[in-house]
Structure 1
Amino acid sequence: MSSDERRDSLADQAAAWVPPWQRPTAPSAAPETEDLGNSAPPEGPEPTKISGDIEGAAESAAPDVAVEAGGEGKGGRGSSAKGSAGRRRGAPAPEPPPELDDTELRGALEAILLVVDEPVSELILAQVLEQPAERIGPMLDEIAAGYTAAGHGFELRRAAGGWRLYTRPEYATYVERFVLDGQSVRLTQAALETLAVIAYKQPVTRSRISAIRGVNCDGVIRTLVSRGLVEECGTEPDSGAFLYRTTTMFLEKLGLNSVDDLPPLAPFLPDDVEELADATR
């Protein structure tokens, strides 16, 4: 074949060439619909094999998908990890403090009462020991009764709204001899009288105290305030004068729980008190 003939043949082939996407497709044979149950499966790879491989690949890529949807995946992974993560996100509930038995509670209360320098209330003891407040009062009563029954030289009693250990009155002379060692810290007669007036008439002004005693009490009141036995507690609405009352130290020193425990004055008044009152008018 000459070169011209070859060139013409190639040109014809090029002109006759049709791209694959423009070529007509052969019509596929329609499936028989008369007997679908008995028709043979088409040749080629089994569809069950392909679907099984796809499902296996999906399980290996996301093992926890089924678990998060509500089921259990292979090996049960995902549910426990997700539950623990939820528990970690929430704040743990605080555990209640352990309840002490009676022996431990008794020992703890005695240890605290040995180091306090002022009466301590039942509420504070319950907060410090982290125990119910209703257990503290009965236990303190039991401890106090035990000290009294055993005949110790000290006792546990209420004073100034709290509890504290005190030496027994029958051993006061020995305690004073040891503590004072010849030093006198007693209040003067004027200070005792002024303190008594304030205790029974509180709150009371200086002028009222001086009127009851019959002498000026400014210096004595300053002494009582410096000793911590008396304190200011406001002013009188009418005159604006300072009012005075006794302090917690006063109750503690006398061993009283409140001023209501002060003894009545009637037995200490003279028989002719009415005549004396009329004479001073």
Structure 2
Amino acid sequence: MSEDTTTAAPPAQPPLKPSLEAVLMVVDEPATEEHLAKVLDRPRRAVAAALRELADEYTREGRGFELRLIAGGWRYYTRPEYGAAVEGFVLDGQHARLTQAALETLAVVAYRQPVTRSRVSAVRGVNCDGVMRTLLQRGLVAEAGTEPETGAILYVTTHYFLERMGLRGLDELPELAPFLPEAEQVEGESQEGVPSFDVDEEDDTGDSPTDH
């Protein structure tokens, strides 16, 4: 009896678009085309084309969600006209918006990054320790090493910041930088590690300033 020398055909790959949809349903942050191509074992060009086709299909069909290219990757987002419905469901009456102080601090970091906490305080004219802690906890800013001259911690915005702002990169920030003081102007106004404010003065959040 002769041996069967035929080899079994490799299993067919599942369709690309449904595979992309399945993966994008579970991502925690925007997925790059390179990463998606790798995990699905497909050519990057095919993945890129399929993603754009899916985005166009969702728009034509008027879905409640859309597929966007944000911060270098792709992710599902609620379509803006249905944002109020989702906000009502998620927050259920709770307000989780940033305070004015937090927004101002975030703006200074965005336009002056990498920047130390004391320089942010100098630009705003008020201690911002508590606000910076809030922004760190929410993942909007992150530590990025230290300043060589002083050893002070430097802060930058994160990919989550770009995602929440709907930006592909920092180069898409509005042209507001000219309205902020230059770094040289605040250089002599504050030094990290040397309190620029009364240590008994409360910061924006009502917390007493603490060293980090």
- The two structures share one fold, judged by TM-score above 0.5: yes
Which residue type is aligned with residue 187 of structure 1? L
Q: How many pairs does the alignment contain?
A: 179
1:265 aligns with 2:176: yes
Map of 1:138 onto structure 2: 49
- Hey, what's the Cα distance between the residues in 1 that align with 2:122 and 2:53? 47
The higher relative CO (CA closer than 8 Å, separation ≥ 6) is in 2
Q: Is the 8 A contact 1:143 1:156 kept in 2?
A: yes
Residue 264 of structure 1 and its aligned partner are, at CA, apart by 2.0
Residue 255 of structure 1 and its aligned partner are, at CA, apart by 2.3
Map of 1:251 onto structure 2: 162
Map of 2:129 onto structure 1: 218
Q: SS of the counterpart of 2:167?
A: coil
Q: Is the 8 A contact 1:97 1:130 kept in 2?
A: no
Instruction: Output one character per residue of 1:203-262: Cα deviation in whole Å (capped at 9) or x when no partner.
Output: 111121111101111111111112211111011111221100011221222222222222
115, 121, 137: which is aligned to 1:204? 115
Which residue type is aligned with residue 204 of structure 1? V
Residue 98 of structure 1 and its aligned partner are, at CA, apart by 5.5
- Hey, what's the Cα distance between the residues in 1 that align with 2:10 and 2:172? 39
Map of 2:197 onto structure 1: none
Alpha carbons of structure 1 residues 247 and 97: separation in structure 2 relative to 1, 3 Å: farther
33, 38, 42: which is aligned to 1:122? 33
The normalised TM-score by structure 1 is 0.58
- Hey, what's the Cα distance between the residues in 1 that align with 2:40 and 2:172? 30
Instruction: Output one character per residue of 1:51-71: Cα deviation in whole Å (capped at 9) or x when no partner.
Output: xxxxxxxxxxxxxxxxxxxxx
- Hey, what's the Cα distance between the residues in 1 that align with 2:10 and 2:154? 47
Alignment of 1:34-49 (within 5 A): none
The normalised TM-score by structure 2 is 0.75
> Which has the larger share of helix?
1
Pair member with larger Rg: 1
Residue 97 of structure 1 and its aligned partner are, at CA, apart by 8.3
Runs of 4+ in 1 over 6 A off after TM superposition: none
Alignment of 1:146-165 (within 5 A): 146-165=57-76
User: Over the residues paired in the alignment, what is the CA RMSD in angstroms?
Assistant: 2.8
Q: Is the 8 A contact 1:99 1:131 kept in 2?
A: no
